[in-house]
Structure 1
Amino acid sequence: MNQIAQEISPDFSGLDTALAALSKGKDAWARTGNAERIAILSEIKDRLLDVSEGWAETAARHKLIPSGSPLVGEEWTSGPYAVMSACNGLMQTLSEMEGKAFLSRLPMRQTTNGQLAVRVMPHSIWDRLLLSGVTADVWMQPDVTEVNLADNTAQAYDTPPAQRRGKVALVLGAGNIASIAPLDAFQKLFSEHQVVILKMNPVNDYLTDYLEAALKPLIDRDALRIVRGGAEVGSYLCTHPQVDEIHITGAAASHDMIVWGAGQEGADNKRAGTPKIDKPITSELGAVCPTIVVPGNWSAADLSFQAEHLATQKLHNSGFNCVACQMLILPRDWPQKDNLLANLRDVMAKLDARQAYYPGADDRMQSFAEHAPDADRFSRGAAPACIVASADADDWFANNEVFAPALSTHEIAGSDPAAYLVEAVRYANDTLTGTLGANILVHPATIRQIGRKRFEEIVSALHYGTIAINAWTGLAFLSTACPWGAFPGHTLQDVSSGIGFVHNTFMFDKPERVVITAPWRPFPRNLLSGGMTLLPRPPWFVTNRRQHVVGKFLTRFQHSPSWFKLPGIFINALRG
């Protein structure tokens, strides 16, 4: 009997050993100087470059991307590229930490509603060339001003190194996007001086060897351990006395099970306000993320390009993104509405067939379809069709993240763009679950018609952690200078899309949201309407036929920027 019990009981001794090493090394890591941290990040970049191709190709195979498909580019840009970019951003911030000098080179302005907005992109000549026309502003929480911004930035570095005390953080990694786990670990390591035990998600723990190789300088300093395992390992670590803080990326249901418990016990604990875990917990959780289409006079080429954009917002990573567009908000009386949807259907039909690789997808799609028996299906060839259903058929669509290739639509009456946008913002705020990211597609002429000041006033009422205007919020995820997280104000009892921010390489302590904007039309077509930006079809578009090449080139460029590398990037970008 004892032998049987020993055989079936999980062995957590390896976890205990890892935590013991981290606990021993936590103060030494907290007191590590900026110069040494810069050297560590530089070494990580070199090691990351060595494993980047194996990382991207392995992830593509596990995600069932067809061999030779340009979609392999997704695994470059959302994997090694994003981590390499974060290393560069952190190195720059650390090199100018004295007096927080890095803030002096960030343009600032006051928004129409009186908030401080800090422009974090473009930040270099490379940004202006490679992401031409893309801007990203971080809107600070209302009590942050230009005068006190330094006091609300990188506060963890205000304590002299010799006086710092370390902590052990548990990071529960996500299974969908490869860079999430290391970027979440970076937040704890470099912005909060905490050592990290990173538990990989079983869905993508095939990345463990690549991460251990790339992040070896942190492992050697007993600042990081990477472990595998399922729910039993996560549960053990969450309650371990040597774990001081927890960061979760996943679903709200998983968060609540960790914090409150399962079943009736969890419901009772939540009602009583008595969490099972008495530790600081931050999180990035999902949402029913909207894309608001604003009526205007779109050309046939605009309709085609924005259909590609919508297909990307829905089907990047085969639809398994926390900020995938799940609610398409449309103007009911817009004459071009049906043409846009027809273009979207056509784009999806022509994409490389990509399977629904994430566990549980079939059940979630079936549940989605059961709530809309009259749903349409946009064919994707040999891949499962994208289910498209009116959200008006059932409140379920506004309250449940589907995390699969399925899309809801909601229509709002009216032809006045400003009045329509006000109603769309109200619907998103008041009806949809979550506050992670929202997209707005609006013709530049329509913004001028509304008035730029009035347009920003309306946008300021949209309470999401990232707002993308003629862009996808996923671009802010890839641009690691941007803080990434839900709109502030959620609590453990009403966690919504999470608590806190990650990425954020300028280390702002009190960001409220990011507003990221991209050109309406790609280069060179934009030249016909007077546009001066140089961004062609973006490499993160699912329709880009050279993204596998551009993603690799961009990763290598992030490692060691050079004018000599630009021609290859530009030529392949134009061919995409």
Structure 2
Amino acid sequence: MTAASETTDSDALPAHTRTVLDAAIADLGQGTRTWRALTLGQRRTLLRRLHATTAAVAEEWADVAATSKGLEPGHPLRGEEWLSGPYAVLVALDAYADTLGALAAGRSPLDGIRLGAAPGGRTRVRTSPLSTADAVLLSGYSTEVWLQPGVDAATARREAGLGQLHPTEPAEVGLVLGAGNVTSIPVLDVLYELLASNRVSILKVNPTQDALVPVFERALAPLIEPGLLRIVRGGGDAGGYLTRHPSIAHVHITGSEATFRAIVWGTADGAGSGSEREAGSEVGPVSDAEPGPEAGLGSGGAGRAATAEREPVLQVPISAELGGVSPIIVVPGAWSRADLRFQAEHVATMRLHNSGHNCIAGQVVIVSRDWPQRAAFLAELRAAYDRAPARPVWYPHSEARLEAARTAYPDATWCGGGDRMLVETTGEQASALETTEYFAPVLGVVDLPGVGQGFLDAAVAHANERLVGTLGANVLVDPATQRALGAGLERAIADLRYGTVALNAWTAFGFLTPTATWGAFPGGTLEHAPSGIGVVHNALLLDQVERTVVRGPFRPFPRSLSGLAHGFGLSVLPKPPWFVTARTGAAVSEGFTRFRMGGDGIRILATLLRAFRA
């Protein structure tokens, strides 16, 4: 969408479509009054109703989502759609309901939650596990939210609640432009708009999720019936019309930086990256040109130059989650053969989950060229990357992006039948890998010198300075090396300029944890928004957030017992169900979700037994 084409884009919409969109927004105007009239207790009751309606369609939701991605019944990776779809929404609804319950009783959502100090004058909030169920099902994993430097514990407790601290203030009508890759994202974004900002929403679903609209309408009926939500379909022309509608007070998008620029500046400059994630589907006719190094998320030099002296065409505030190139820093240590194999499968999962069509997919593995086990680790990584179950590369334009990567790296290794690319490179050759979010099964390995703290510090600096985006970073380090690094490891975590940092875990665990926050590292602007502006999820409704830190077990059960005495946590999972190599991952992921649907303790025991056969 160019500035000159704005009127044309709107006029291109059929009159009937404009009438439907206008009517939906008008309905939401009444919804703002309804929301304002609800007490905190009534809002909590509403969330409980949403839990019931979501549970009622969970099986259909997972089935439609999996089938739409080419995962037929019986496919071992169908469990991804249980966890990243209805499971994520159910646990979020429970967490938000707990927050509203605390506020309704006159308490802070942080009452009873442990707060402590983090490096650099920060306060950390222990955000999971907060229940016995989480402590058992996800044993060994935890999350904490670090607040911005200078925010003390008393302030954190006092300000937790965001919009729900002032529930009677006038509500607004916002637009949510839904993501096309992960099915829970549009729903979670709608919930956060409503609860963090008292903002009712018109949700425009990405065309890749059109098949789920009937499921969404039934799951979200308690929001739709009183006019708190309207769901519409459409392409870029409908998105463009909605972003410029005079009754819209705020826009939220999960998508590409090119689409973000099109919304804010009315320009398709650098739009090659728009096809990376949204295929130009959200707003305006974004180009389908494929990404090269110059179009990488966060590099955006051409786009920023084009907008530097221009007034934004968007007249309302915007928040966004825009992805990025995520590092996986492998800290050298003395690893067993089992460690090498497990962590290789871990890295393969970070890239191959959802066929690589994730904003948080790991893309650049940073290893030490001085690590004696480097060759052994890379051999295990190639094997794990190759043996993961076959699946379609389904997201629009993915084949062309794979071809662009093939052109940039003609000597790369192709795995999994030829649709997964593994690049081992150094120096300037890594430029395309580090500046292009491929949003496809492309994984790169970059060497740096050093061991110990020297390597870790160099890897952190490399990730901060060379990789585009600030959404998430992963660090893998064995317990012995972790003990040796001590405070230096915590300092390195603080130095990583990413919205989520995962230690011995994948940052997607932070996405899946409702009481964690999800979004770019603070500092994004309209002119330059690497990975976006603001956060979502955040079911404790924390204010002045800087990042989420995820911690997980370096070793699975029973080998995790070796780290328990040193305080590194005990995992009862032999292999997490989200690993692409977990043989029982589909059944366990479904079992986890069904437990969240109804809390059947007997059923979850059977699920845990299946987990032991992963």
TM-score by length of 2: 0.89
C-alpha distance after superposition, 1:61-90 (max 9, x if no partner): 111124411200000000000000000000
State the one-letter code of the partner of 2:505: A
Number of the residue aligned with 1:477: 511
DSSP 3-state at the match of 1:502 = strand
Query: Does 2:425 align with 1:390?
Result: yes
C-alpha distance after superposition, 1:341-361 (max 9, x if no partner): 111211222222111100010
Name the CA shift for 1:227/1:263 in 2 (closer, same or farther; >3 Å): closer
Number of the residue aligned with 2:201: 196
Match among 293, 299, 311 for residue 336 of structure 2: 299
Number of the residue aligned with 1:446: 481
Number of the residue aligned with 1:511: 545
Query: Does 2:558 align with 1:524?
Result: yes
C-alpha distance after superposition, 1:277-323 (max 9, x if no partner): 11010000110110000000000000000011001000000000001
- For residues 83 and 308 of structure 2, the distance between their equivalents in structure 1, rounded to whole angstroms, comes to 42
- For residues 138 and 327 of structure 2, the distance between their equivalents in structure 1, rounded to whole angstroms, comes to 24
State the one-letter code of the partner of 2:50: I
Query: Does 2:18 align with 1:12?
Result: yes
State the one-letter code of the partner of 2:247: Q
Identity %: 41
Query: Does 2:43 align with 1:37?
Result: yes
- For residues 344 and 234 of structure 1, the distance between their equivalents in structure 2, rounded to whole angstroms, comes to 41
CA contact (8 A) 1:483 1:501 kept: yes
Number of the residue aligned with 1:285: 322
Deviation at 1:204, TM superposition (A): 1.5
DSSP 3-state at the match of 1:168 = strand
Deviation at 1:9, TM superposition (A): 6.5
Deviation at 1:108, TM superposition (A): 0.9
State the one-letter code of the partner of 1:199: K
Deviation at 1:444, TM superposition (A): 0.9
Q: How does 1:79-478 map to 2 (within 5 A)?
A: 79-97=85-103, 98-159=105-166, 161-162=167-168, 164-263=169-268, 270-377=307-414, 379-381=415-417, 384-390=419-425, 392=427, 393-415=429-451, 417-451=452-486, 453-478=487-512
Structure 2 alignment gaps of length 5 or more = 1-10, 271-302
DSSP 3-state at the match of 1:386 = strand
Number of the residue aligned with 1:68: 74
- For residues 514 and 6 of structure 1, the distance between their equivalents in structure 2, rounded to whole angstroms, comes to 43
Match among 509, 515, 534 for residue 500 of structure 1: 534
Q: Decide which moves more: 348-357 or 258-267.
A: 258-267
Name the CA shift for 1:547/1:264 in 2 (closer, same or farther; >3 Å): closer
Deviation at 1:457, TM superposition (A): 1.2
Name the CA shift for 1:530/1:133 in 2 (closer, same or farther; >3 Å): closer
C-alpha distance after superposition, 1:364-392 (max 9, x if no partner): 11112212222222x113x6132424263
- For residues 437 and 31 of structure 1, the distance between their equivalents in structure 2, rounded to whole angstroms, comes to 38
Deviation at 1:263, TM superposition (A): 4.2
Name the CA shift for 1:108/1:461 in 2 (closer, same or farther; >3 Å): same
Q: Decide which moves more: 289-298 or 329-338.
A: 329-338
Name the CA shift for 1:168/1:8 in 2 (closer, same or farther; >3 Å): closer
State the one-letter code of the partner of 1:210: V
C-alpha distance after superposition, 1:1-25 (max 9, x if no partner): xxxx999667321111100100122
CA contact (8 A) 2:109 2:161 kept: no
C-alpha distance after superposition, 1:103-132 (max 9, x if no partner): 121101101322100001110111111111
Name the CA shift for 1:331/1:257 in 2 (closer, same or farther; >3 Å): same
DSSP 3-state at the match of 2:17 = coil
Deviation at 1:268, TM superposition (A): 7.2
State the one-letter code of the partner of 2:142: T
Number of the residue aligned with 1:25: 31
Deviation at 1:262, TM superposition (A): 2.1
Structure 1 alignment gaps of length 5 or more = none
CA contact (8 A) 1:30 1:194 kept: no
- For residues 94 and 173 of structure 2, the distance between their equivalents in structure 1, rounded to whole angstroms, comes to 25
C-alpha distance after superposition, 1:390-415 (max 9, x if no partner): 26315232211110000122111112
DSSP 3-state at the match of 1:105 = coil
- For residues 224 and 556 of structure 1, the distance between their equivalents in structure 2, rounded to whole angstroms, comes to 26
CA contact (8 A) 2:164 2:195 kept: no
- For residues 562 and 263 of structure 1, the distance between their equivalents in structure 2, rounded to whole angstroms, comes to 51
Query: Does 2:596 align with 1:558?
Result: yes
- For residues 499 and 216 of structure 1, the distance between their equivalents in structure 2, rounded to whole angstroms, comes to 29
Deviation at 1:442, TM superposition (A): 0.4
Name the CA shift for 1:295/1:387 in 2 (closer, same or farther; >3 Å): closer
Name the CA shift for 1:6/1:343 in 2 (closer, same or farther; >3 Å): closer
State the one-letter code of the partner of 2:119: T
Deviation at 1:30, TM superposition (A): 2.9
State the one-letter code of the partner of 2:534: G
DSSP 3-state at the match of 1:291 = strand
CA contact (8 A) 2:412 2:421 kept: no
Match among 558, 582, 603 for residue 544 of structure 1: 582
DSSP 3-state at the match of 1:102 = coil
C-alpha distance after superposition, 1:34-61 (max 9, x if no partner): 2211211111111111211111111111
- For residues 182 and 433 of structure 1, the distance between their equivalents in structure 2, rounded to whole angstroms, comes to 27
CA contact (8 A) 1:260 1:269 kept: no
TM-score by length of 1: 0.95
C-alpha distance after superposition, 1:245-279 (max 9, x if no partner): 00010111110111112246976761214111110
- For residues 565 and 268 of structure 1, the distance between their equivalents in structure 2, rounded to whole angstroms, comes to 57
- For residues 563 and 185 of structure 1, the distance between their equivalents in structure 2, rounded to whole angstroms, comes to 31
CA contact (8 A) 2:13 2:238 kept: no
Number of the residue aligned with 1:51: 57
Name the CA shift for 1:191/1:338 in 2 (closer, same or farther; >3 Å): same
- For residues 135 and 61 of structure 2, the distance between their equivalents in structure 1, rounded to whole angstroms, comes to 28
Number of positions where the alignment pairs a residue of Structure 1 with one of Structure 2: 566
Name the CA shift for 1:221/1:302 in 2 (closer, same or farther; >3 Å): same
- For residues 117 and 477 of structure 2, the distance between their equivalents in structure 1, rounded to whole angstroms, comes to 23
DSSP 3-state at the match of 1:113 = coil
